[in-house]
Structure 1
């Protein structure tokens, strides 16, 4: 169970909602702000291509490793203190890496920022469960859109910021301001924190949680959509350029993928009310994803905008899966446990996506095998989404525990 804060007023609830959205907006800026100035960073720090590859792989690794270790932190510190700590870590990592001259220290500072983002990923669903149990799809769609918008804004604005402020260091470091702004409402809410109950019988140890079929369906669902998404971010533009599309057009098409996802995410509450506890949404996400990748496979240069739109629509599986973490649990403790398992282990598996696409391309000299595998991931989304869509709660799948 939880020790909730006193019920806030309507205005207070939406202040919490705004704080959650601001938190989410900060969780991808440490990633989105680097790729667009990576060339300048490599030149300035004498960073090798191998180290640059490590840097681009760090997000998914950190999201997995630090995500798994979040449950104990939240139980001891509380969700509000954890949110404040997330923003402090993100700001600290962003600022310090913009100041250093060592490649190794730059990577370590990036780990600090990404560790904060990893914890933030995991606490978002239980925050929504604790404060908005009656508005889970709505608030989840809001923070899902904020995640996407934060990443897109960081990618779009870092270069202009760098040009205006005098270099990549200033352009990258400036994003710490957003974290400081987002920190203010969480500092105001520290006195009204939400904790996991100290009673042992209310805790959900990972060894128990991982026995649930629902948990593994959530893990594989999240892993499949994340693997496809990270492969898409890493390789979609190159696949199109290899098909004869210009670099500029390929980059614009990748932006289309992200842009389509934001209005779709905001429409999820209405779509979830319309479909109820049916698997129609994950089936739809899987279908448009498979068709999008099939189009890239057989006719990449014919109507690439259509494939970009379809892949963007398929990306709705991300926010849907995050929303289902809170909808398939009865308590905040259950939501936190399912969030840790889903995102921690899901991101760990998802790391194979971008790596596997590159490895298969190198081994075969073609994009055919990687694209066939990405189409296969869409089938995983459909199958696992069918299980997750059933109205079964995590706590009910675990059976009686000691002390119940």
Structure 2
């Protein structure tokens, strides 16, 4: 007879993977199809940057509004609303033909992703408390895999249909599948409200702000690469399909980084060695793009992907490990993602502005390299022995606010 606990754990893990797969196609499907989109709609580079920046800014703002949203949205309701918003935005992209409609779809999709993504670290912390680092790695790997598949398959789907819109809109299908899976497989016991998993209450804590800025800056490279790597590849004499394949290859190494490094270092209570290694690899990749892009672009992109994947997973795990209780840890993670993604969302817009102002991506890659170097230094602040003292005061304020 099957063990119901094991079946429950397997169902929870399947849910985590299906939900995560839907959190990046709205971003990564844009870059490989940017040229036909620009020719068809008249998008400029800065407008195109908004297609990445708007959803990422939504990913930041919505978690910060959860103390108000929780008054009328349950966890179940918020998850359904988020997944349906992603599906509706993708379906709209099947028929749109203007720059403003593209940005409108990006806004709707971004709001949907923000609702789902804001709750995911809390869900993983609650469902897999004893295997947090490994399961956070699986979540991160699934999230990045969804983005890579969209970048890789989008141009093929577009070519087969003869319309770039199809390469953007087909990602409504996995969103609808996730809606069905959530309705059928979600745990029915111990229902949660956003009051237990929402963000807020951390605005007065310096460590929470440091974690949020750290998360935002080390992930700014991801949004910039997704937005501009295909365009950079075209400038180097490549094709749109080749740009999508580069993003897909970067994603493969992101998945390896998100899974491999946390698994390799799972017995270490200190996340700093893994973060130093991941940031160092990422720095080498950006320096390579800056100094010798035509000689070994695939190698530089692979290094950047490996570092980005490990950084995303380890930085979220670092955040969750600052607190012992799942509700408080989920609340802190929502705040960190909220502020962090606002920071992350500004980075591709800034790198796009630098590209337009200077006529090349050299200044953009220089900015990202300097940012990674700064985060290498900041990582020293996150010693496990300082977690409790850094968070003690804010935990009591969260618990008081939750009771009230």
The aligned counterpart of 1:94 is 90
How far apart in 1 are the matches of 2:319 and 2:63? 15
Q: 130, 137, 145: which is aligned to 2:126?
A: 130
* Distance (Å, rounded) in 2 between the aligned partners of 1:31 and 1:398: 34
Report the 3-state secondary structure (helix = DSSP H, G, I; strand = E; otherwise coil) of the residue aligned with 1:273: coil
Counterpart for residue 275 of structure 1:
268
Shift of 1:57: 2.9
**Distance of aligned partners of 1:192 and 1:384 in 2 relative to their CA distance in 1, 3 Å threshold:** farther
Contact 2:31/2:230 (<8 A) preserved: no
1:183-262 matches, cutoff 5 A: 183-188=179-184, 189=186, 191-192=188-189, 194-196=191-193, 206=200, 208-239=201-232, 244=236, 246-247=238-239, 252-262=245-255
Partner of 1:16: 12
The more displaced of 244-253 and 319-328 is 244-253
Query: Who is 1:388 aligned against?
Result: 382
**In structure 1, what is the Cα distance between the partners aligned to 2:183 and 2:8?**
14
Runs of 4+ residues over 6 Å off in structure 1: 202-205
Q: 1:304 aligns with which of 297, 300, 304?
A: 297
Partner Cα distance (2:291, 2:276) in 1: 22
Aligned residues: CA RMSD: 3.2
Structure 1 range deviating more: 384-393 or 172-181: 384-393
- Cα distance in 2 for residues equivalent to 1:352 and 1:48: 18
Query: 1:59: which partner in 2?
Result: 55
TM-score after normalising by structure 1: 0.84
Residues 233 and 172 of structure 1: CA distance in aligned 2, closer, same or farther (over 3 Å): closer
**For 2:15 and 2:377, how far apart are their aligned partners in 1?**
35
Q: CA deviation at 1:12?
A: 0.9
Structure 2 residue matching 1:398: 3-state secondary structure: helix
1:116 maps to 112
Contact (CA 8 Å) 2:125, 2:330: kept in 1 or not? no
Aligned pairs (5 A) from 1:37-56: 37-42=33-38, 46-49=41-44, 51-56=47-52
The alignment's TM-score, normalised by the length of structure 2, stands at 0.84
- From the superposition, tell whether residues 91 and 363 of structure 1 become closer, same or farther in structure 2 (CA, over 3 Å): closer
SS in 1 for 2:382: helix
The match for 1:342 among 333, 336, 353 is 336
The 1-side partners of 2:11 and 2:166 are apart by: 31
User: Structure 1 residues 42 and 370, CA, compared in 2 at 3 Å: closer, same or farther?
Assistant: closer
Residue 136 of structure 2 corresponds to which residue in structure 1? 140
Deviates more, 1:390-399 or 1:317-326: 390-399
Does structure 2 retain, via aligned residues, the 8 Å contact 1:125–1:140? yes
- Matched ranges for 1:169-184 at <5 A: 169-184=165-180
Q: 1:278 to 1:332 in 2, by over 3 A?
A: closer
Partners of 2:49 and 2:227 within 8 A in 1: no
Q: Deviations over 1:186-214 (max 9, x none)?
A: 2133743542596xxx89873x4122232
Structure 2: distance between partners of 1:25 and 1:346:
20
Question: What SS class does the counterpart of residue 221 from structure 2 fall into?
Answer: helix
- How far the C-alpha of 1:237 sits from its partner, in A, is 4.9
The aligned counterpart of 1:4 is none
Q: Does the residue aligned with 2:295 lie in a helix, a strand or coil?
A: coil
Report whether the alignment pairs 1:317 with 2:311.
yes
Q: Which region of structure 1 is more displaced relative to structure 2, 342-351 or 78-87?
A: 78-87
CA distance in 2, matches of 1:364, 1:371: 12
Alignment CA distance shift 1:151-1:72 (3 Å): same
CA distance in 1, matches of 2:358, 2:162: 43
Is 1:327 the counterpart of 2:321 in the alignment?
yes
Listed one character per residue, the Cα deviations across residues 225-259 of structure 1 (whole Å, up to 9, x for unaligned) are: 121222223334555665x5644766544443222
Instruction: Describe the shift of the 1:239–1:93 C-alpha distance in structure 2 as closer, same or farther (beyond 3 A).
Output: closer
Structure 1 residues 388 and 121: CA distance shift in structure 2, 3 A: farther
- 1:374 is aligned, of 368, 378, 382, to 368
**C-alpha separation in 1, matches of 2:194 and 2:23:** 27
Q: How many residues align?
A: 392
The question of 1:35 aligning with 2:31 is answered yes
